[in-house]
Amino acid sequence: MEERGVKEAMELNILYEDEEILVAEKPVGMESQSARSFEPDMVSEVKKHINRLSPKQGEPYVGVIHRLDKPVGGVMVYAKTKDAAESLSRQVSMHQMEKIYYAVVCGKPVENFGAYVDYLWKDGKNNCSKIVDKGIKGAKLAELSYQIVDERSIGNEVCSLAKIILKTGRHHQIRVQMAGHGTPLWGDQKYNPLFQKGYRSGNVALFAYSLTFTHPVTKKRMTFSVKPKGDIFETFLLPEMA
C-alpha cells in the first residue's frame, strides 16, 4: 500500500511549487479534497508528494482554496502555509482570482458571447443546485461570462465549445447556469436530460483550463493553464492551443 501511494504522488502533474503554494492538474474523476472513501483525492496526493520530497515528522499543511466537481479536471492551487491560504482565500472572496473554463454545451446560445447573473440555491439532500428568485432563503448570487469559440454537429446534436470566465464559485455553478439558460453541458447526467436515465453516457464536458492569481509572498501575478482533457474536446478547435 505504501509503494502504491508513492507511485501515485509521482504521477501528480505539478505545474508549479515553492514553499508557499502548489499548483497542479486535478485529474477527471478525482475528488478535490478528502472524501468519505478509500479512493485517491487531491489533498492526499499533494501530502504524499510533499512527504516524498521532504520527509519530516507530522502531517504537512495543505490548504484547500477552491474546489472542482469530481468529474471536472483542471488547474488547482493549494496553499502549503496558513498565511498563503489566507491570502489566496481572500483573493477568491474578492473575485481577484481569475478562473477560465472550457465547456461543450448542447445547442448554442442566442448570442455568441454574454453574461449570466442568477441566484442559485443548493439542495444538499439531493446534491444539486437550481436557479431561484433572489428573495429565496439561502439563494446566492452566481455570475459568469461566456464566449462561443466553435460549433460542431455531434450525431444529431448541434454542440458549441464555450469559453467561460467564472466570477463566483457556487455549487455546480457552470453546469446549472448553462442548463438553466437552455444549453446544458454534454455528458452531464445531473442537469442534461439527454444524458439522464442512461439515454446516453459520457463524462461532463467541463474543464478548468486556466487559473490566474497573485502570489501570496512575491505579489507576482501568475497564470497557469492545461489543455482540456477528454475525447469530446478533441472534436473542437481550441484557439488558444493552436
Q: What is the largest CA-CA distance in the chain?
A: 58
CA distance 192 to 105: 10
3-state helix, strand, coil in the chain (%, to 5): 25, 35, 40
Question: Model confidence over 149-206: pLDDT tens digits?
Answer: 999 998 888 999 999 999 998 999 999 999 999 999 999 999 999 888 666 666 899 9
pTM, whole model, 2 decimals? Answer: 0.89
* Domain positions in the chain: 2-233
Instruction: Write out the three cell numbers for 176.
Output: 446549472
Comparing CA positions, the residue from 111, 120, 132, 229 lying closest to residue 166 is 120
Give domain 2-233's CATH number out of 3.30.2350.10, 1.10.274.10, 3.40.50.1360, 3.40.50.150. 3.30.2350.10
pLDDT at residue 53, rounded to an integer: 77
- From the list 230, 225, 227, the residue with the least C-alpha distance to 24 is 225
Identity of the amino acid at 3 = E
* pLDDT at 89 > cutoff 90: yes
C-alpha cell at 171: 455549487
> What is the rounded average pLDDT for all residues in the chain?
89
Q: Which helix (H) or strand (E) holds 117?
A: strand 113-123
